[in-house]
Every structure is written in C-alpha cells, then in structure tokens.
C-alpha cells in the first residue's frame, strides 16, 4: 500500500493513471508541428519505385576501412541486402499472420515488407540529388542545411560523370527494349 501511494504521489495525479505534466505543459505551450504531407513517405515511395525497376542501372562503390574505393561496379536493378529473405524465418502457432511457403501455410509474427521480402536491410540513409540521382550510404554521416567545406573528399557529387550517365541511359533503353549489355554498359 505504501509503494502504491508513493507511486500516486510521484505521478501527482488522480487514480486514473500517470501523466507527465511537464510534457502536457510543453505540448500546450509549444504544440508539435502537424505534418500534412510527409517527405519521408515521398522518399520511401521514390526509392521503392527506383529500386524495383529491373532495367535501372546503378553503381556500387565498396569502401575500405580507410575510405578508399576497393571495388566499383555497375549494378543492373538494385543492390540487395543479404539479410533479405523470400519467407519468414520463424513460425508462431498463436500468430494471426499467415504465410504460405510452397503448399504449406504457416503462422508467423513477421510481416512482409513493401518490397515483397522478409527481414531487414543493412542500416543506411539514402537521398536523391536535385537532378534525381540516388545515393545510399551506410557509414557515418553528417547532414546540414548549408554546404560544408570538406578537407578530404572521397566523392564529389557535384562532379558527376555525365558521359557515363548518357552511356547508362542508352544502355537502359536497350535493356527496356529487350536487348543485352555488358558491365562496361556496351551493347551486346
């Protein structure tokens, strides 16, 4: 009884539950901005559309621990995470979520992602440039609303290789028409 009474006194509220009066006051004096259109949702939808085009050409630059590019390669479609799966990894007989693998139906607590797979991706941030180019990064980063001078640059997104972009656009057109290309984006 003493502990219950102490808890009620600590909350400073009637018996109907605890509330943070400081948070209530803060929300009253400075309400949370009401988001009517989510740019986060726009970016997720743009990324899903871009990364699910089988003829989309992208480039991957694998970085070593010192920031040097170890390997680079054009990518047809998208780079996929090794932790993605086509089926859930666990079953739970009590779960209302069902999944069919082959002809067998299982109950699971895992939900299928918007891309039709199970499992997570490697953690990363991604963005689009004003010209529509897509960038994804899984290392340390900083975000600013002003341009910063970087003393040692690994990549300079202002110096995009437009000859390579034009070559890629031609290659994508060939892919979309059913043709084939090689890793140098040359038409076969």
| pLDDT given at position 15 | 47
The model's pLDDT over 147-173, given as tens digits with 9 standing for 90+, comes to 666 666 566 666 778 888 888 889 889
Q: What angle do CA 68, 162, 43 make, to 5 degrees?
A: 75
Q: What residues in the chain have per-residue pLDDT under 70?
A: 1-19, 144-158
pTM reported for the whole predicted model = 0.58
Q: Return the closest-CA partner of residue 136 out of 59, 74, 84, 56.
A: 59
| Cβ contact 97:118 at 8 Å | no
The model's pLDDT over 130-149, given as tens digits with 9 standing for 90+, comes to 778 888 888 877 776 666 66
* Cα–Cα dist 116/30, whole Å: 40
Q: Return the closest-CA partner of residue 133 out of 60, 58, 53, 183.
A: 58
| pLDDT given at position 153 | 59
| Cβ contact 109:95 at 8 Å | yes
| pLDDT given at position 12 | 47
């Amino acid at each position: 009884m003493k502990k219950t009474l102490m808890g009620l006194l600590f909350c400073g509220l009637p018996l109907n539950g605890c509330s943070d009066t400081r948070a209530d006051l803060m929300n009253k004096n400075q309400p949370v901005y009401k988001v009517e259109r989510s740019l986060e949702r726009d970016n997720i939808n743009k990324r899903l559309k871009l990364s699910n085009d089988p003829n989309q050409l992208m480039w991957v630059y694998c970085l070593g621990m010192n920031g040097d590019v170890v390997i680079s390669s054009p990518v047809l479609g998208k780079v996929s995470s090794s932790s993605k799966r086509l089926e859930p990894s666990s079953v739970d007989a009590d779960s209302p979520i069902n999944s069919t693998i082959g002809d067998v139906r299982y109950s699971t607590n895992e939900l299928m992602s918007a891309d039709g797979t199970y499992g997570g991706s490697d953690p990363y941030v991604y963005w689009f440039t004003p010209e529509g180019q897509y960038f994804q990064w899984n290392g340390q980063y900083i975000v600013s609303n002003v341009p910063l001078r970087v003393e040692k640059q690994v990549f300079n997104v202002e110096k995009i290789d437009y000859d390579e972009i034009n070559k890629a656009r031609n290659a994508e057109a060939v892919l979309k028409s059913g043709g084939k290309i090689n890793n140098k984006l040359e038409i076969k």
